Amino acid sequence: MAEIWLTQEEFEKRKEHLDYLKSTRTLEIAEMLKIARGFGDLSENAEYDAAKAEQAKNEYDIATLEAELRAAKIIDQNALHGDKINVGSKVTVKNQATGTEMHLEIVGSMAADPVAGKVSNESPIGGALLGHVVGEIVPVNTPGGAIHLEVLEIH
């Protein structure tokens, strides 16, 4: 698995969710299986089949989260240089064609949430902005066509 960039907060949330899946959720599924076994013949027991499917999904989710946490690189907010855009940087940019200003945070792909202004470092906009400084106009090839963003501020 490739590197996954996470803030310390995102890393902790994933760890908490993993702990929940390994403890609470596993016990809940075990109870579901116990109850389903009580219904008799397992070959035609829909409740048992559903519980086994839930158990398989939980095991898959645990394995996926463990792999993500092993591949995680924590974004050190204190080490960010204010002069260049990096993963973890918060920036204000202006679309040169429309004059629209956008406040963005460059995050790892697992934390991307475009509606909240969190763009992945692997997205066209996030990737294009990396390494640029205030005052630069950055060409970006988006699925909707080429745009030019001026870096107004790096927070």
Q: What is the mean pLDDT of residues 97-116?
A: 91
Q: What is the pLDDT of residue 75?
A: 79
Q: Give the model's confidence band at 78: pLDDT under 50 very low, under 70 low, under 90 confident, else very high.
A: low
pLDDT of residue 130: 92
Highest CATH level, class, for 78-154: alpha beta
Helix 8-20, helix 46-71: angle, nearest 10: 150
What pLDDT band is residue 40 in, cutting at 50, 70 and 90? confident
Overall pTM surpassing 0.85 (yes/no): no
> What CATH code is assigned to 4-74?
1.10.287.180
Q: Cα–Cα–Cα angle for 114, 11, 28, nearest 5°?
A: 100
Neighbouring residues of 9: CB distance < 8 A, sequence distance ≥ 6: none
Domain ranges within the chain, ordered by starting residue: 4-74, 78-154
